[in-house]
Amino acid sequence: MSEEAVEATGPQVRRLGDWAAADLADLAAEYDTPLYVTDLERVQANATRLRAAFPDADVHYAVKAHTGQAVLRAVRAAGLGAECASAGEVVRALKAGFEGREIQYTAVNPPATDLDTVVERWRDDAAGLTVVAGARDTLDRLRDRGFDGRIAIRVNPGVGAGHHAKVTTGGHAKFGVPYDRAADLLADARDDFDVVGIHAHAGSGISGEDLDAHRELVARMGDLARDVGDLEFVDVGGGFGVPYHEDEPPLDLGAVADATREALGDVDARLAVEPGRYVVADAAVLLTRVNTVKEAEGVAVAGVDAGMTTLLRPAMYGAYHAIRNLDADGRRERPVTVAGPVCETADLFCEERPLPDPRRDDLLAVGNAGAYGYEMANTYNSRPRPAEVVRDADGVRLAREREGLEALTALEGDE
Ligand code: LLP
CA distance 82 to 25: 33
Q: Given ligand 1 and candidates 130, 277, 312, 366, which is best to mutate, with the most ligand atoms within 8 Å of its CB?
A: 277
Q: For residue 171, what is the domain's CATH number?
A: 3.20.20.10
Total domains, the chain: 2
Using one digit for the tens of pLDDT, what is the confidence trace for 103-156?
999 999 999 999 999 999 999 999 999 999 999 999 999 999 999 999 999 999
Q: Indicate if 286 and 268 belong to the same structural domain.
A: no
Q: Cα of 412 to ligand 1 centre, how many Å?
A: 32
Q: Count CB neighbours of 160 within 10 A.
A: 24
Q: Indicate if 263 and 300 belong to the same structural domain.
A: no
Does any domain span residue 22? no
Question: Radius of gyration over alpha carbons of the chain, in Å?
Answer: 22
The distance of Cα 31 from the centroid of its chain, to the nearest Å, equals 25
> What is residue 172's predicted lDDT score, i.e. its pLDDT?
87
Q: Indicate if 291 and 142 belong to the same structural domain.
A: no
Using one digit for the tens of pLDDT, what is the confidence trace for 292-332?
999 998 999 999 999 999 999 999 999 999 999 999 989 99
Does any domain span residue 21? no
214 lines ligand 1 (CB under 6 A): no
> What is residue 4's predicted lDDT score, i.e. its pLDDT?
57
Considering only CA atoms, which of 224, 242, 232 is closest in space to residue 176? 224
> What is residue 8's predicted lDDT score, i.e. its pLDDT?
59
Helices (H), 78-210: 87-95, 112-124, 136-144, 179-189
> What is residue 211's predicted lDDT score, i.e. its pLDDT?
85
Domain end (from 279, 308, 340): 279
DSSP state of 172: -
Active-site annotation holds for 84: no
DSSP state of 330: T
Kind and range of the H or E element at 3?
Answer: helix 3-8
Q: Indicate if 267 and 301 belong to the same structural domain.
A: no
Question: In which domain, by residue range, is 379 found?
Answer: 282-409
Q: Given ligand 1 and candidates 61, 64, 273, 313, which is best to mutate, with the most ligand atoms within 8 Å of its CB?
A: 64
Using one digit for the tens of pLDDT, what is the confidence trace for 190-208?
999 999 999 999 888 888 7
Q: Indicate if 322 and 351 belong to the same structural domain.
A: yes
Q: Indicate if 289 and 270 belong to the same structural domain.
A: no
Does any domain span residue 291? yes
CA distance 3 to 6: 5
168 lines ligand 1 (CB under 6 A): no
Domain end (from 262, 279, 296): 279
Q: Are 319 and 283 in contact (CB under 8 A)?
A: no
